[in-house]
Amino acid sequence: METKLRKIIFAGIILYTFLILYFLFFAFNRLDHEYSEYGYDFMLIPESVPILFPNLSDLSFSWIFNLGNIAAFIPYGIVIPLLYRTHLVKFISVFVLTILVLETLQSLTFLGTFDVDDVISNTLGAGIGFCAYKVGLTIKVFWKKLMAMGLTIVVLLVGIMGISEIINYAVEKREGPVHALNEVKEITGSMPMTKDLPGFTVAGKKIEPKMNLYSSEGQDTKKYTYILGEKKDILFYSSFGIPDNGDDHGELIIAVDGKEIVQYNEQYYQDMETIDFSMNSVHEITITLKGNAKLWDVKFSEMKHWWE
């Protein structure tokens, strides 16, 4: 390579590096983010795959961001071996060490977090660039060289998306069968109605419970407590309302492991309400009903891996 061309390429990669450092430490209003409130943040376990195939009907910013995390580092895989003769293992080793240092500095300066997902994506980008450089090295005609390198980059990106889809499918949790909450074996307190469930109206809408019916009928307050036994990733579903006939006062409280999650009463909710929320972990669920409030079709499901 001519000395003049080498100097131009070297100057270009230096300027490009300053741009990358700007995005790593100062872009996206990083100076305004109070990362210091949470202390040093090191995310050492991968939380997602590098990049999935895009949803062309609804292209999200997160997908573009993930693509940028890979694409932004492709030039290093092309330019570094072009300027300095090296092999893949040495190049990737030095690159990973450099990215680890930068990610650590992001966390230590409270201008970001150490995220191993970023390390993986950045390294994949550099690796793609290196492969493209190696393909182009075997071609003498300049425009054919560029076409071959570009095609290599596209093919490898698509390949990474395909592998990411497979990994994502393998490790992603999916919702399992739905169970009535009253099917839980360990129950204390009151029991809901499960047979011959009566219909009623809420805000003029006819309600026909299908699975169960919870109420405080006959008492001012009723509590229903269920021991689920250290379950994780639980989805909870139910419906709440105060029937049109009878007293128009009532209240619902749902607590998970002693912490109040839901609180409804007639002052704020005069129509039928659909209740659904997720729980990362749960041992005990307590349902408290007061007055004329009713809760029905109370059920839950678990998010599980395909092998579970």
Per-residue pLDDT of 167-180, as tens digits, reads 998 888 899 999 99
Partners of 215 in the beta sheet? 294
CA pair distance 252, 215, nearest whole angstrom: 9
- Confidence grade of residue 154 (pLDDT, cut at 50, 70, 90): very high
DSSP string, the chain: --HHHHHHHHHHHHHHHHHHHHHHHTTTTGGGS-GGGG---EE-S--S-S-PPP-TTS--HHHHHHHHHHHTTHHHHHHHHHHS---HHHHHHHHHHHHHHHHHHHHHTTSS-EEHHHHHHHHHHHHHHHHHHHHHHT--SHHHHHHHHHHHHHHHHHHHHHHHHHHHHHH--EE---EEGGG-SEEEE---B-SSPPPEEETTEEE--SS-EEE-TTSSEEEEEEEEEEEEEEEEEEEEE--SSS---EEEEEEETTEEEEEEETTT--S-EEEEEEEEEEEEEEEEEEET-EEEEEEEEEEE-TT-
Do 7 and 74 form a contact (C-beta atoms < 8 A)? no
Q: Mean pLDDT over residues 50-56, rounded? A: 92
CA pair distance 74, 119, nearest whole angstrom: 13
Residue 116 CA from chain centroid, whole number: 15
Q: Mean pLDDT over residues 81-107, rounded? A: 94
Q: Write down the pLDDT at residue 206.
A: 95
Partners of 288 in the beta sheet? 223, 253
Q: Write down the pLDDT at residue 278.
A: 94
Q: Mean pLDDT over residues 130-147, rounded? A: 93
Residue 164 has pLDDT above 70, yes or no: yes
How high is the mean pLDDT of the chain?
Answer: 90
Q: Mean pLDDT over residues 200-209, rounded? A: 93
Q: At what angle do helices 3-25 and 74-83 cross, to 10 degrees?
A: 150
Lowest mean pLDDT among 5-14, 34-43, 298-307: 34-43
Whether the full predicted model's pTM is greater than 0.75, yes or no, is no
The one-letter code for the residue type at 205 is K
Residue 35 has pLDDT above 70, yes or no: no
Among left, alpha and beta (phi > 0; psi -120 to 50; other), residue 137 is alpha
What percentage of the chain exceeds 70 in pLDDT? 95
